Amino acid sequence: MISIDLALKYTPLPISVQRKEIEDAQGLYEQIVNAMKSGTSELIELTCEKQTEKKVAVMSDQISAVILSRKDGGAAAGRVPGFFSMVEAEQ
């Protein structure tokens, strides 16, 4: 599964939808980025291929970031994709 996560202004939690194919995910990513670049506010309606009953609509001017990432079974639950922390080991 490929995940497309949206970070919204003034909202601490991301909105996430999934696509089965990388081409579909990249197309959705490009659509969202183009809407963000347009400078006008437009409604973007998204559906999820993993949870077919999941639907979300957001205004393009409220999106502050879009993240495209592959969801693997080994990824820790609850972590935002694309970010990590490093801890220095004691010597």
Instruction: Give pTM, 2 decimals.
Output: 0.73
Give the pLDDT of residue 64. 93
- Check residues 42 and 85 and name the one with the higher pLDDT: 42
CB atoms < 10 A from the CB of 60, how many?
19
Strands (DSSP E) found in the chain: 2-8, 15-19, 43-47, 55-59, 63-70
Question: Which pLDDT band, with edges at 50, 70 and 90, does 19 fall under?
Answer: very high
pLDDT tens for residues 41-79?
999 999 999 998 999 999 999 999 999 998 765 544 555
Beta bridge partners of 63: 8
Q: Is the pLDDT of residue 86 over 90?
A: no
